[in-house]
Amino acid sequence: MNSFDASIIFYVNRLSRESLVFDHFMGYMTQYNLLKGGVLALFIWRIWFREGDLGRKYVTAAIISSLAAIAVARGLALSLPYRARPLHEASLAFIVPYGVSPKLLDGWSSFPSDHAVLFFCLSTGIFFASRRLGAIALAYSALFICLPRVYLGFHYPTDILAGAALGVFIAWAGNAYCARSRAFMSSYRWLDLRPGLFYPGLFLVTYQIADLFDSGRGALSGAVDLLEMTLA
């Protein structure tokens, strides 16, 4: 473990088990998806109805980028060398906060943080549409989504920083691609041509964002298992 991660983890971990309420508050912020994806979904819908056509294009590009971001994050976590999370790293002698199971996320590599990738990607896309809401989204993602994950021992600071940088880059690249893509502009015209299909689809996608794609990934995993059983 590098000295940067070690110094921050040791400093933050000194606060662990000093306050039952604080430890449970940090756990509360990580436990409920509504407090993470739900907040950014609200920002997306506010921009949709307040920032005009350009704002709609920006958030549509952000949503498309977020789908790529979560896929890239999971792909990297599975392909890069395994990195144990701080609460599982024996050499750290990590003090597990109240309410956190020492076995939580055991076997899941910590690098990069898929939460940081996803939420910084979405927040950057929101920033393109509205600097005020984007700044709030970025601050919220850093303080109330990512920081609790460091405090609880789910991630090292470099997991968060790498994930955030990757999320910002994907949002920027996705926005640049969508601005020049004929396919994106053609699909975006469905808003005017088929609003009865466009809006239910947009609602479903933002619901998945609020749910951190948990139900979608579960359904996909179940479909793969079913297919394997059929072919066996």
User: Is the predicted pLDDT of residue 70 greater than 90, yes or no?
Assistant: no
Q: Is the pLDDT assigned to residue 214 strictly greater than 80?
A: no
Q: Residue 157's pLDDT is what?
A: 93
Is residue 196 over pLDDT 90? no
| Share above pLDDT 90 across residues of the chain, in percent, rounded to a whole number | 22
Q: Which residue has the tokens 């709609």?
A: 56
pLDDT at 229 over 90: no
CA dist 1 to 16, 43, 85, 89, Å? Answer: 20, 37, 11, 10
pLDDT for position 164: 94
* CATH code for the structural domain at 3-231: 1.20.144
pTM, two decimals, is 0.85
pLDDT value for 84? 85
Dump pLDDT digits (tens) for 113-128. 888 999 999 999 999 9
> What would the pLDDT profile of 125-150 be if each residue is shown by its tens digit?
999 988 999 999 999 999 999 999 99
CB 127 within 8 A of CB 119: no
Of the candidates 210, 225, 209, 202, the residue with the CA atom closest to the CA atom of residue 57: 202
Residue 187: band (very low, low, confident or very high) from pLDDT cuts 50, 70, 90: low
**Per-residue pLDDT reduced to its tens digit, 11-62:** 888 888 888 999 889 988 888 888 888 889 889 989 888 877 778 888 888 8
Reported as a pLDDT band with limits 50, 70 and 90, residue 178 is confident
Residue with token string 């466009």: 198
Chain position carrying tokens 């053609």 = 186
Q: What pLDDT does 183 receive?
A: 67
Alpha-carbon dihedral sign for residues 211, 118, 71, 82: negative
pLDDT confidence of residue 55: 83
Please give the pLDDT value at position 96. 86
pLDDT top residue among 207 and 179: 207
Domain ranges, ordered by start, for the chain: 3-231
